[in-house]
Structure 1
Amino acid sequence: MQQGLPRMTARVLTCLFVADAGSLTAAELVQHLQVSPASVSKAIGFLESQGLVLRQRDERRRERYFVDDDVWYRSTIASAHGSALIAETARQGVAVLGRDSPAAARLENIARFSDFISESILRAAEQVREILHVKPVPDSGGHAEPDADRGEDAARPPGGPVKG
């Protein structure tokens, strides 16, 4: 909820995060959360629109909703694209208003800010994705060793020091 999600949406997302399989059906979400199917449906719709949840049919043709390792990456990329769209729209406003008006100057600042944020978010998302997708390579004794081919400490857990 601190990230701006409505309470029910946050509950559905949290339920999916803590499910061992990372996926549940709508009926399972209703049962776990003790809420109406309509509440789950509305929350899932919002989460899908934000790229936080994926939908897939299982072998019994039931829809399953799931989160995977790329959930934050996809959501962040969608956010960056939203910022780029704001920049584009603001620049269209500048063209409509004429460059010399105070409102056009504000819109140009919004566009420049949004462009910078969008580009920074995209760059950061790619960097973090590379770091988090580094998997430990087991040595012959079954212990994790750094991946020498990548030149990184592959055994480093996410959130640890980043080598630059």
Structure 2
Amino acid sequence: MGRFVERFALHLSEAGFPRMPARVFVAILVSEDGQRTAAELGEVLRVSPAAVSGAVQYLVQVGLVARDRKPGERRDHYRLYDDTWYEALTRQDSLYTRWEQDLRDGMAAVGPDSAAGARLEETRQFFGFLREEFSRVMDDWRRTRAAGGR
């Protein structure tokens, strides 16, 4: 299992995911119940509590992991959300919308007829395309999952 965790985390980091959060995410992903404590993560990954703390803070911030505390316990448990990937990726829609507006503002600032304006417009169109296609793909995924998956 350790080799899988490291390999998948490496592939996530090659795609832009920070390395330690990738390792922590995969360690939670492969746990039987989809959750681990900070101590368990440190033990599994052989890293310091500080490394785990920074990684889970990032994962909580980006919405991939939730922090819970069971009644009567003093330790936090870090768990995956149901539909973790779906939920995290669905948030991209609002990000693309904000970027499109920012790019419109940028075009107004540099002038739509300038070379920079043309680059900004192409970038805006690209993110608009991604937003629309992504919405369609996520709808398809919801239907596929509701029908019993693949």
Report the TM-score when normalising by structure 2. Answer: 0.81
Query: Percent of aligned positions with the same letter in both sequences?
Result: 37
**Equivalent position of 1:19 in the other structure:** 31
Q: Indicate the RMSD between aligned Cα atoms, in angstroms.
A: 1.7
Q: Look up the match of 2:135.
A: 122
Q: Which runs of 5+ in 1 are unaligned?
A: 135-153, 160-164
1:49 is displaced (CA, Å) by: 2.5
Out of 56, 59, 66, which is 1:54 matched to?
Answer: 66
- Aligned residue among 42, 52, 71 for 1:40: 52
2:18 aligned residue: 6
Paired residue total:
137
- Displacement of 1:73 in angstroms is 0.7
Q: What is aligned with 1:101? A: 114
Contact 1:50 1:78 in 2 (8 A): no
Q: 1:100-122: per-residue Cα shift (whole Å, max 9, x none)?
A: 21211111111111011012112
Q: Does the residue aligned with 2:78 lie in a helix, a strand or coil?
A: strand
Partner AA of 1:7 in structure 2: R
From the superposition, tell whether residues 56 and 133 of structure 1 become closer, same or farther in structure 2 (CA, over 3 Å): farther
Offset of residue 9 of structure 1: 1.6
Q: Provide closer, same or farther for how the CA distance between residues 73 and 9 of structure 1 changes in structure 2, counting only shifts above 3 A.
A: same
- Return the match for 1:78 from 69, 91, 105: 91
State the alpha-carbon separation in 2 of the partners of residues 121 and 22 from structure 1.
26
Which aligned runs of 4 or more in structure 1 are off by greater than 3 angstroms? Answer: none
Q: TM-score, normalised by structure 1?
A: 0.75
Distance across 2 between alignment mates of 1:73 and 1:95 = 34
